[in-house]
Amino acid sequence: MHPDSFTSNYKTYKLVFYEGFHRIEVAIAREKQIKAGSRKTKNELITSFNPSWRDLYEDVQLW
């Protein structure tokens, strides 16, 4: 892991949520929408997608 990376700086080690998009503009708009939400809203979004907060990294590797 690179010492200046986002994951290193913020101690993030699990992928618990993702969404796929066909257009970068739509993805960026969605990212901004999620970032503008409260922590409670983000937690609810994750829980609705991944109730056990399981690490989804291995699932993404299969793409």
pLDDT digits (tens, 9 = 90+) for 27-51: 999 999 999 999 999 999 999 999 9
DSSP state of 37: S
Does residue 46 contact residue 16 with C-beta atoms inside 8 Å?
yes
- Beta-carbon neighbour count of residue 32 at 10 Å? 9
Residue 28's pLDDT is 98
Report the percent of the chain where pLDDT is more than 70: 98
The whole-model pTM stands at 0.81
Confidence category of residue 1, pLDDT binned at 50, 70, 90: low
The Cα 34–Cα 14 span in angstroms is 18
Chain-wide mean pLDDT for the chain?
Answer: 94
Closest CA to 62 of 15, 21, 30, 12: 15
Tell me what pLDDT residue 12 has: 87
